[in-house]
Structure 1
Amino acid sequence: MEQDTTLWGIHAGKTGDAESLFIDNKIVALGWAEVGDLTSIPKTREAFKSHYLSKLPLTKPAALPGSAGQLFRFVNEMKVGDLVAFPAKHTKTIHLGEIIGEYQYSPGKSKGYPNQRAVKWLRELPRTHFSQGALYEIGSALSLFTVKTYSEEFFAAIESKSAPTPIPASEDKTVADVKHDVEESTSDFILKILAQETKGHPFADFVGNLLQTMGYRTRVSPPGVDGGIDIVAHRDELGFEPPIIKVQVKSSVGSIGDPVISQLYGKVAQSEFGLFVTLGTFTSQAVQFARAKHNLRLIDGDALVQLILEHYEQLDSKYKGLIPLRRMYIPETAGSDQE
């Protein structure tokens, strides 16, 4: 396979509604029928964005570059001779083919998917023949994208004259990568929402509710001057019995240094505990300072996400609505708990 050959991934609609169109007509296609024929649009991303917005003026600014960019790439960057991988939802197979035609606007073939390119389908293989990492990559949320990380696996499947041997699940080294990517995406999602929606004092309310799910009673300081203590947590109803936990929170995503941690610890009696919770990170000096104190704990963004996932079902309904998550199972590697 030539080194400059691009492998594209493409989806036949979110529900696979264009799968028969792709296979029966030997084409790949994109929707966005409202934008019309793109043949005469200048070959720049800005021109495509302007044209797209003129046809779909209610498009949100954040969505515009991605949608217009996919159309731009389909028309101008995809080349005859490039390869394409199309995962079919209904048959649970991967169709591999070669692009053999330039861009065409053909609403006669499909009103919903008029932006088309001719393709020569070369192979159809069960999903089970590919590694979990390769399947994860072509499961992109985009309609059109380039396949890079696992492209060689698809190239090899195209070039092989015999049916490739399915990768044994127990030997699939990419499972750990998929697990990591899913966990990282979930963590990024949670931290982004909290940073945007609980900035300032609302973050203290959220942490207070999280501590309640862990069996603590909490008193959150009102907005304004709090003396450096945002939450006081305790086990008993009146808050007299130890341990008493004094909590400071920061909804910023930056790095918290030693001076800030020292200030919190200065307000913690020897019989009390100090807890600092942030969406960001701590400097190495701050971490070393906390390690030397038996009654001081630091929770950074990553550790906070783990606590949220562990206690998610017990969170107040308004926070579950703010951070919508669904329980799912992901592949696990043997012995990963010991890593």
Structure 2
Amino acid sequence: MWMIRAGEGASMVEPCIDGGYIGVDFGQHIFSAMPEKVRREDLARAFRETHPDWSEHKVANASGQLFRFLAEIKAGDEVVTGDPARRLYYIGTVEADAEFVARAKDSMPFRRRVKWTRKALRDELGVETRNTLGAIQTLFRLNAEASADLRQRAVDMAATPKSKPTPVEATPSKPEGRSIDELRREVIEKAHEFIEDLIARLEPYPMQELVAGILRGMGYKTRVSPPGSDRGVDIFASPDGLGLQEPRIFVEVKHWVNKQISAPDVRAFLGGRKTGDRCLYVSTGGFTREARYEAERANVPLTLIDLPRLRMLLIDHYEQLDQETRRLVPLTKLYWPIDEAG
């Protein structure tokens, strides 16, 4: 079973799943066609010539991962890709050899056809599996334990997984042969995913309190609607807390597992908003493409915030949060040595 990330930050996960393929987003500025002979040394030479400023380690890493995608993965192999916004991992079967798609609009020239059949909710996976899936490489082979856990927890694509959170306790892996900077990036990536795990475990009302606390950390005064009676607005924020000073910020918070916000949801939230209002829609389950389009064409400024973006806001403003908000997602700072040689 292979883990392959669908673009940076899983930006290409929807086209990959809908289009029935998986691809890699490096090499598009180096190759104009499929190499006649896929050899690791030829790929390394091409990367080296195009990027003379790259270190040999970076050249070896890029050429090695591309070689694995083109030559080592075989038809019939299982492949996994993650959707962090929906907290899902999709599982499929490779159906064909690698192909080169010239002038690919999505910048994934090297692709493999995949039949996506199952999905697993991240919250249902064991801690070690989640730790393994957090590795920063674009492509790597999963160990037997992680593969078995994914197969056991996976359901059909049309099914709705039920979340059964497991305790967040991770034992950092100790891979050898990598630079301090690479290890730092991997630790950060895994930390981000475990922070999202903590956020996802909050109940709906504490989730509203978390969002309100972040806004207070950004300098606003907030008013949170009591449970069960938000009248369409979960949080109101403004510089003075009364709405007499702009911006007046109206916030809707939906904490739904594996359920995206649709365009009608966005339109319903925007109903009644007027000039001078600013709107935030927070959805830990993400947003459909139609909902994002609806937000772009809205008459008032509307920002959509999914779980990864909420995590970023939390980290960026954590030092300014009050103690009540910090207790919702307790974090600690880690100091890391600088790799001056890298």
Q: Structure 2 length normalisation: TM-score?
A: 0.47
Instruction: Determine which structure has more spread, i.e. the larger CA radius of gyration.
Output: 1
